[in-house]
Amino acid sequence: MDAPLHDWNLAPKEAVALQTELAKRLESTDRIGSVHHIAGVDIGFEAGGDITRAAVVVLAWQPDSTQHLAVVEQVVHREPTRMPYIPGLLSFREIPAALEAFAKLTITPELVMVDGQGIAHPRRLGVAAHLGLWLNLPTIGIAKSRLTGQHAEVGNTRGDWAPLTSGNDVIGAVLRSRENVKPVFVSPGHRLSLETSLDWVVRCLGRTKLPEPTRLADRLASRRDQKRLT
């Protein structure tokens, strides 16, 4: 991880202004090399929201194997929550704990998938995009619900997708990741195009609607036996 981007002790108005500035630093073209490890990230909360619980699962990408993805490392970090829930400022609430979890990893992934938004955010800086700037790694946001934007109806076949738009801008894709199941919302975070983001999400799909990296991170983040993992 490079030098810190900013301080976390910000008032909401300062955080909103900072999002607008940081969004200008995002790279929307592909800058990704060979991928050997993919990390999945999800954030949970304990004690009524007073404790933030960040889960990171690292999987080895083995395209020539019958098991394309195999878990090689997982980390959970827990710390006091730094900011209350404020719509649009989720990354300021979640990323500090995520960064501490990444600091515990012994394997550096080449690609990071985040349970949350990438640029499909009112100020184009969702948690996946913001985290990508901090880590200086290619990141993708995979969200279960829409935060902003409009889209047409999505076909019902696995792999069907429709653009997610805001005005004249395409900010993501609404992907049918499993037949007869609600779609997921995919948006690039940092150092990736939408097309490449979609390609990687589809490659990492298993039997559920979520790609395996974020599915496993979600499962780890939702556990209640975290003390032995910290």
Q: What is the Cα Rg of the chain in Å?
A: 16
| SS3 label, residue 139 | strand
Question: What's the 3-state SS for 1-67?
Answer: CCCCCCCCCCCHHHHHHHHHHHHCCCCCCCCCCCCCEEEEEEEEEEHHHCEEEEEEEEEEECCCCCC
pLDDT tens digit sequence for 9-33? 999 999 999 999 999 999 999 999 9
Mean pLDDT of 197-209: 96
What is the structure's pLDDT at 225?
Answer: 39
pLDDT bracket for residue 213 (50, 70, 90): very high
pLDDT bracket for residue 3 (50, 70, 90): confident
Is 218 labelled a binding residue?
no
Is 42 labelled a binding residue?
yes
Buried b (16+ CB within 10 A) or exposed e, 80-89: ebebeeeebb
pLDDT bracket for residue 226 (50, 70, 90): very low
| SS3 label, residue 215 | helix
What is the structure's pLDDT at 189?
Answer: 98
pLDDT tens digit sequence for 134-189? 999 999 999 999 999 999 999 999 999 999 999 999 999 999 999 999 999 999 99
DSSP one-letter string for 55-99: EEEEEEE-TTSSS-EEEEEEEEEEEE--S---TT-HHHHHHHHHH
pLDDT tens digit sequence for 42-86? 999 999 999 999 999 999 999 887 778 999 999 999 999 999 999
Residue 4 pLDDT > 90, yes or no?
Answer: no
Read off the pTM.
0.94
What is the structure's pLDDT at 96?
Answer: 97
Residue 227 pLDDT > 50, yes or no?
Answer: no
What is the structure's pLDDT at 2?
Answer: 62
What is the structure's pLDDT at 229?
Answer: 35
